[in-house]
Amino acid sequence: MTAKAILGHRAARRAAKLEATAVRLEALQLPNSGQWLRRAREMALARLNHMGLPDRRDEYWKFTDPNTLLQPEVLPAKILDITDAAMDFVAFDRLKIVFVDGVFDADASDDLSSEGLEIVRLAEAGASDIHWAREFYGTLEAEGQKPVDRPLAALNTVLATDGVVIRVTGKVSRPVSLIYLRRETDAEMILHHLVRVEEGAELTLLENGPGAARLNTVTEAWVADSAALHHVRTQGRDHERRAATHFFAQLGAQSVFKSFTLTANGALSRNESIVWLNGNGGSAHVAGAAMGDGKFHHDDTVFVTHAAPDCESRQVFKKVLRNGAVGVFQGKILVRRAAQLTDGYQISQALLLDETSQFLAKPELEIYADDVKCSHGSTSGEIDADQLFYLRARGVPEEAAQGLLVLAFLAEAVEEIAHEDLAEEIRRKLDGWVSRHN
């Protein structure tokens, strides 16, 4: 094909994609909401119409088929282990915010008023014309559409039926815990949260629960100068779940953002993290441990932009895969010209427990500053035979030895959790998974 023919082909493909998107979105009803929120939704819809819904031929969706995330009907998913998944973090003193089938449940939730914290439902903020959220809803999502389209995030901004907006003004020691419960096998959940951690403030945000048969969540977070946001999330054992999540975080000077996700099973999970280091000396750690057995497709897609000097970022992702499970990692570090003395680190590793499982990785560095330290690595491999033998020679039975090595493999990701008690909770869950799947 000549260059001209290729361009013609691309233009035709784009036209077809946009047309398909227009057809899909034509009959779309925007959720009832107050004026400014409706305007924000319409702007997101315009963005979405311009970029089109994703398909398998998009470079960013090369490894993960978005089809089941998009098809009009929700594929019913058996309700499994609701209690188990809902039990995460149960021992922690936390402020619980409960959603059932994607709808806020006031009775099951704690009183939302708390010192140093301001929490209201998205709908409530949307109904009030003077709410601060007005200036922010959908803005990080919009910014995150460059340089890569994230149509599912735009779709979320258009359609989100619920969510909370949280403003943190002090050092809040009690974590805010978002709990997603499910009652219907075909429940769909589209939640959009805003989190503003103001200067010098601190928050730990927890998320857990089976959620829905299909879920799409977007969190937009602003971490101001010298503020800290710790995010720990578990995606539970509901095998048929399909999830697309986006976590957008914009960081100020000397701020800290740490996000960790544990994923155990799930038919399809695509977790995107989009982080901007916009102030000097910021620190962003995004990590995940995923374990899949059988019908499991897990995709971590991360984009960290260093826009200011002296910042540090780490991406640490580990996956344990068996019985045909598929793991995907797409991770990028973009260092802008101004971001001198950047320290960027990225590692993605898969432990393949048999020959039927696969790991697909696309690590990327794009660096425009000249004085930076960036490293990345991606590996996939089996259990180390020498380590296994060493353990067995010391009397540890083969299965237990293998379990110990699986946990050891995941340890580096868990270490990214700042709070030791939360890390311990995650280790306990990993331990449980390993002993169930041995």
**Nearest distance, CB of residue 98 and other proteins, angstroms:** 35
Of the candidates 35, 105, 408, 438, which one interacts with other proteins according to CB under 8 A?
408
Nearer Cβ to other proteins (105/384): 384
Q: How many residues bind other proteins (CB under 8 A)?
A: 23
The DSSP-derived string for 141-154 is HHHTTSSS--HHHH
Of the candidates 23, 83, 115, 395, which one interacts with other proteins according to CB under 8 A?
395
Coil/strand/helix, residue 68: helix
**Nearest distance, CB of residue 107 and other proteins, angstroms:** 42
Structure tokens at 26: 């034509």
- CB neighbour class for 345 (10 Å; exposed up to 12, middle 13-18, buried from 19): middle
Of the candidates 80, 360, 365, 400, which one interacts with other proteins according to CB under 8 A?
400
Q: Which amino acid is at 353?
A: L
Q: Residue 354 — φ and ψ, nearest 5°?
A: -155, 180
CA distance 61 to 415: 29
Q: What is the DSSP code (8-state) at residue 186?
A: T
Nearest-10 Cα torsion for 406, 412, 414, 418:
160
Of the candidates 365, 407, 418, 423, which one interacts with other proteins according to CB under 8 A?
407
Of the candidates 79, 127, 341, 396, which one interacts with other proteins according to CB under 8 A?
396
Site for other proteins in 373-392 (CB under 8 A): 385-387, 389-392
Of the candidates 147, 377, 381, 397, which one interacts with other proteins according to CB under 8 A?
397
Of the candidates 4, 57, 146, 394, which one interacts with other proteins according to CB under 8 A?
394
**Nearest distance, CB of residue 412 and other proteins, angstroms:** 7
Q: Quick check: 427 binds other proteins (CB under 8 A)?
A: no
Of the candidates 74, 201, 405, 422, which one interacts with other proteins according to CB under 8 A?
405
Nearer Cβ to other proteins (266/403): 403
Structure tokens at 90: 């149960």
Closest CA to 250 of 169, 317, 304, 177: 304
Of the candidates 1, 3, 27, 393, which one interacts with other proteins according to CB under 8 A?
393
Span of 207-215, 257-265, 371-379, 404-412 interacting with other proteins by CB under 8 A: 404-412
> Checking DSSP bridges between strand 326-335 and strand 242-251, what pairing results, if any?
unpaired
Span of 10-18, 148-156, 230-238, 393-401 interacting with other proteins by CB under 8 A: 393-401
Q: Quick check: 411 binds other proteins (CB under 8 A)?
A: yes
**Nearest distance, CB of residue 394 and other proteins, angstroms:** 4
Nearer Cβ to other proteins (268/321): 321
Closest CA to 209 of 102, 311, 304, 284: 102
Site for other proteins in 62-91 (CB under 8 A): none
Q: Are 335 and 311 in contact (CB under 8 A)?
A: no
Of the candidates 75, 360, 404, 418, which one interacts with other proteins according to CB under 8 A?
404
Nearer Cβ to other proteins (8/397): 397
Beta bridge partners, 286, equal: 259, 315
**Nearest distance, CB of residue 389 and other proteins, angstroms:** 6
Q: Which amino acid is at 110?
A: D
Q: Quick check: 146 binds other proteins (CB under 8 A)?
A: no
Span of 67-75, 210-218, 406-414, 426-434 interacting with other proteins by CB under 8 A: 406-414
HSE toward the beta carbon, residue 41, CA cutoff 13 A: 21
The DSSP-derived string for 24-54 is HHHTPPPPP--HHHHHHHHHHHHHHHHH---
Cβ-Cβ contacts under 8 Å for 259 (sequence gap 6 or more): 230, 231, 232, 233, 247, 249, 273, 285, 286, 287
Question: What residue ranges bind other proteins (CB under 8 A)?
Answer: 385-387, 389-398, 400-401, 404-405, 407-412
